[in-house]
Amino acid sequence: MDAKEWLVVNALPGMGAHRITQLVARGPQWPQGWLAALPSAAATALRLWLEHPERSPLQSVVNDTEAWLQAGPNRHLLHRDHPAWPTLLNQLPDPPVVLWAQGDLSALEGPKLAMVGTRRPTSEGSGNAQAFARELAQRGWCIVSGMALGVDGVAQRAALATGGHSIAVLGCGVDVIYPARHRDLYEQLSTAPGGLLLSEHPPGTVARPAFFPRRNRIVTGLSLGTLVVEATEKSGSLVSARLALEQGRELFALPGSLHNVQARGCLHLLRTGATLVRHVDDILEELQHWASSFLPPELKPVADATGVVETSGTVPPADHLLSVLGTSPTPIDVLVQSTGVTVSECQQRLLMLELEGHVTQQAGGWVRLARPW
C-alpha cells in the first residue's frame, strides 16, 4: 500500500489504531480484501474513495497532507510500507497507522532510549537529565521524549548539543509548537542534523489533554527502554513507565533523596521493580544485546566458523577510527575531524567498538582499551 492508501485507512470512520492493527494482522489484499473485512460504514467510505475520490470526504486528508509535504523541506509521511518506518512500533497492540514527520529521518535508524520526567525538575534532576542524555547521545543512542517542559526538554537539548540524535513525539500536529516556550527546541528538532518531530495527528491539530497519554505510547514504543529521571508520585511520567512495562520494554529509574518530592515517583518505581541506574553503563548492560541489532548491517558483529566475532561488510577489523584512539581521551569532534566520517557514523562505530570491548568513554572523550583485535 502507498502513502495515500494508508492515509485513507487512517481516516476511515468507526475504526482506530487498534482495530486497524487487528485487520492488518490478517493480511488482507488491497483493496478487495480490505473492503470484505471492514465494518459496513468503513467499507462504504472506502469504496466511495476508490471509485470517486473527488466525491469522498476522505480525499481532503490526502490533499491536505500532500500540500503540507510540498510546502517545506524535510517533511515526510511514514507508514508500515515506508523504508524508514520504525518496526519496533509494530509490536504495539495499537501502533499509529501513519506518522507525520519533520526533520532528519536518520534519527530513526539507531537504538533509542526514552527519557521522561517531571516538568519541574530540581537542579539535580536537570543536571542528571543533561548528563545522561549527553553521554547516551555520544555513545550512539537517540533520545526520545515529548518536547515537554522540564526533563523532556533538558534531555533533548543536551542530545542535540552534543551532535547526537533526538526524536520528539508531539501530542498535536507536527506543525504546532507546544509548549510555545519551546519554540527554539522545536526549530532545532525540525532543522538540525539528528533532530526529528513525529505526530500521529494531521498538521494543524491543536494540543488536547487526551492526546498526551496516547502520545506516550509512541515515545516508549519507539524505544528499547525508558529512563525516568525525576517524577512525583502522581506524575504523568509514571504513565510512560507503565506503558513501557506493558510493551515489554526495560524500565529504568534514577534514585533520589527521601526528602525530595520530585523523586518519590522514581522511588516507587524502584520499589516495584524498575532497574536502579547510577550511570549510563547500568543502562547499556541491560540493553546492549538489543541495541546491536539496530546498527547498520556493515557495522554489526558477526561470528566466523570458530565463533570469533568479527565485523561484517566493508568495514575492516583494524579500522581508521580505532587507530586514531589511544590511552588519552579523544573528544568525538576530534575523531570526526581526524577520520572524515559524519558524527552519526562516528557515534555508531564507537557504539559497535564499545559493545565489542575495544573502546570506552572517559571524562574528556573516548579511549582505546588494551585488547588485541
Residue 333 has pLDDT above 70, yes or no: yes
pLDDT at 68: 97
Strand partners, 199: 100
Residue 167 has pLDDT above 60, yes or no: yes
Q: What Cα–Cα distance (Å) separates residue 91 from each residue in 1, 25, 80, 116, 322? A: 20, 11, 12, 21, 36
State phi, psi for 26 to the nearest 5 degrees: -85, -10
What average pLDDT does range 20-48 have in this prediction?
96
CB count in 10 Å sphere of residue 81: 11
d(Cα 153, Cα 148) in Å, to the nearest integer? Answer: 6
Domains of the chain: 1-71 (no CATH), 105-290 (3.40.50.450), 296-368 (1.10.10.10)
The mean pLDDT of the chain is 88
pLDDT in tens, 91-117: 999 999 999 999 999 999 999 999 999
pLDDT in tens, 191-239: 999 999 999 999 999 999 999 999 999 999 999 999 999 999 888 899 9
Residue 339 has pLDDT above 50, yes or no: yes
User: Residue 290: CB partners within 8 Å, gap ≥ 6?
Assistant: 111, 224
d(Cα 318, Cα 286) in Å, to the nearest integer? Answer: 28
Helices (H), the chain: 3-10, 17-25, 32-37, 40-51, 59-70, 123-138, 151-161, 183-191, 211-221, 237-246, 264-271, 280-291, 320-324, 332-339, 343-355
CA 82 to chain centre: 16
pLDDT at 372: 37
pLDDT at 292: 65
> How does residue 7 score in pLDDT terms, banded at 50, 70 and 90?
very high
- Measured over the CA atoms of residue 81, residue 84, residue 88 and residue 92, the dihedral's sign is negative
CB count in 10 Å sphere of residue 95: 23
CB 267 within 8 A of CB 241: no
Residue 373 has pLDDT above 90, yes or no: no
Cell numbers found for residue 147: 518536547
> How does residue 258 score in pLDDT terms, banded at 50, 70 and 90?
confident
pLDDT at 370: 64
Strand partners, 20: none
> How does residue 327 score in pLDDT terms, banded at 50, 70 and 90?
confident
Q: Helix, strand, or coil here: 111?
A: coil
Residue 250 has pLDDT above 90, yes or no: yes
CB 367 within 8 A of CB 328: yes
d(Cα 202, Cα 362) in Å, to the nearest integer? Answer: 44
d(Cα 25, Cα 17) in Å, to the nearest integer? Answer: 12
pLDDT at 350: 82
pLDDT at 349: 80
pLDDT at 357: 74
Q: Helix, strand, or coil here: 34?
A: helix
The greatest distance separating any two alpha carbons of the chain, rounded to the nearest whole angstrom, comes to 70
Residue 305 has pLDDT above 90, yes or no: no
More confident residue, 87 or 364: 87
